[in-house]
Amino acid sequence: MKIKEIMSKNIISCKSNNTIYEIANLMKKHNIGFLPIIDKSLKGVITDRDIVVKCLSNNDTFILPYINTNIISIEENKNIEDALELMSKNKIKRLIITKEKEIVGILSLSDIINNTNINTLNTIKNIFELKNNQLNKNSEIDDFYL
Q: 26 in a domain, yes or no?
A: yes
pLDDT digits (tens, 9 = 90+) for 93-127: 999 999 998 999 999 988 888 887 776 666 666 66
Q: 145 in a domain, yes or no?
A: no
Q: 143 in a domain, yes or no?
A: no
Closest by CA position to 94, among listed 79, 74, 77, 114: 74
Q: 86 in a domain, yes or no?
A: yes
* Domain residue limits at 100: 3-135
Q: 144 in a domain, yes or no?
A: no
Q: 127 in a domain, yes or no?
A: yes
Domains in the chain, number: 1
Predicted confidence at residue 116, as pLDDT, reads: 79
Task: Please tell me whether the overall predicted TM-score, pTM, comes out greater than 0.85 for this model.
Answer: no
Q: 52 in a domain, yes or no?
A: yes
pLDDT digits (tens, 9 = 90+) for 49-88: 888 888 877 777 888 888 999 999 999 999 999 999 999 8
Q: 115 in a domain, yes or no?
A: yes
CATH number at residue 48: 3.10.580.10
